[in-house]
Amino acid sequence: MARYLRLRQVCLVAADLGAEAAHIAKALKVSECHRDTNVAKYGLENVLFPVGSGFLEIVSPTRPGTAAGRFLERHGGRHGYMVIMDCDDPERYRQRAESLGIRVANVIRHDNYLGIQLHPKDTGAAMLEFNHTPGGEDPMGDYAPAGPNWQRSIRKELVKGLRAVEIECPEPDALAARWSEILDRPVVNRRIALDSGAIEFLPGTGNEAVLAGVVLEGSGPATADLCGVRFRSVDG
């Protein structure tokens, strides 16, 4: 199997799942494809929207004491929660992370699906996830988190894909170098290019690194605040 690493999904957190889902659907003209019952064991509910072959996910706590709930409280409803990448071999990235002293926060297994989540206190800015779905070599093929037949929900009136996530931090060069080690990809002009999508590191005014922005491909809003994150669209 050929190696690949793609920006596949961005996870946001909301106190009110219904309100934020409706806001995103209206602003970006996207349609819901799936709600994953597997997240209930973490005290969460969620919804996913396809954006081309990528996804926007919103999670919301359903009980006190969840990691997502603590994230909401700490950030006051601002900033993104997870950067999710699909790849050929999540275990390879797990071993690489552990060799760098980065803790694994969670391992997700169901059927043949595997997801490895790294501890955000060790990565900085956001939780990183590496996952693999059998048959997922084709970006338009199976992708377990999005449910069956997710392709039928794709709409392209405004947005056509995930272009990048933007990380704002006090020391962008240092964090870019850290993520470069984790991802085993070079940094060029504070940007790590993946096989699809990219991660960009920008100077921030806060005292910690945060997932502050999402860049979409298409003719959507030039800028919009959705679920506490800055969205912008670019052509091409």
134-143 pLDDT per residue, tens: 999 999 999 9
Reply yes or no on whether the pLDDT at 64 is more than 70. Answer: yes
If DSSP codes are grouped into helix, strand and coil, which group holds residue 148? coil
> What pLDDT shows up at residue 1?
59
Q: Rounded CA gap, 129 and 117, in Å?
A: 4
Give the 3-state secondary structure percentages of the chain, helix then strand then coil, rounded to 5.
Answer: 25, 40, 35
Order of strands, sheet of 104-110, starting from the edge strand that comes earlier in the sequence: 44-51, 54-61, 5-13, 82-87, 127-132, 113-118, 104-110
Confidence (pTM)? 0.95
Where do the structural domains in the chain lie, given as residue ranges?
A: 5-234
Reply yes or no on whether the pLDDT at 220 is more than 80. Answer: no
The CATH number for 5-234, chosen from 3.10.450.50, 3.10.180.10, 3.30.450.40, 3.40.366.30, is 3.10.180.10
Reply yes or no on whether the pLDDT at 236 is more than 70. Answer: no
> What pLDDT shows up at residue 76?
84
Q: What is the pLDDT of residues 21-62, one digit of tens each?
A: 999 999 999 999 999 888 888 899 999 999 999 999 999 999
CA 213 vs. chain centroid, Å, equals 11
